[in-house]
């Protein structure tokens, strides 16, 4: 069985934010990327993922 969507609009909207800054203590360039998919019909159903973060520790 094949399911074809055609030119239909996907049910979510992709939002991508990228940032970079210089750490004032070390002078290192910190970069990050945040991707989030937001459901168009119901904005309460959002989820986010961070696929790549360079030079950031969370402890």
The answer to whether the predicted template modeling score (pTM) of the entire model surpasses 0.85 is no
Contact 14, 34 (CB under 8 A): no
Query: Taking the mean position of all CA atoms in its chain, how far away is CA 48?
Result: 6
The answer to whether residues 27 and 47 touch, using CB atoms and an 8 Å cutoff, is no
User: Which helix (H) or strand (E) segment is 14 a member of?
Assistant: strand 12-22
Query: Which pairs count as long-range contacts for 14-21, CB under 8 Å and 24+ apart, including other chains?
Result: 14/38
Averaged pLDDT score across all residues of the chain: 72
pLDDT, tens digit, 9 for 90 and up, residues 21-42 = 999 999 999 999 988 877 766 5
3-class SS of residue 25: coil
């Amino acid at each position: 069985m094949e399911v074809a969507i055609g030119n239909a609009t996907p049910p979510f909207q992709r939002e991508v934010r990228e940032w970079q800054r210089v750490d004032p203590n070390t002078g290192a360039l910190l970069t990050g990327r945040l991707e989030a998919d937001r459901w168009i019909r119901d904005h309460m159903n959002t989820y986010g993922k961070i696929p790549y973060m360079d030079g950031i520790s969370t402890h």
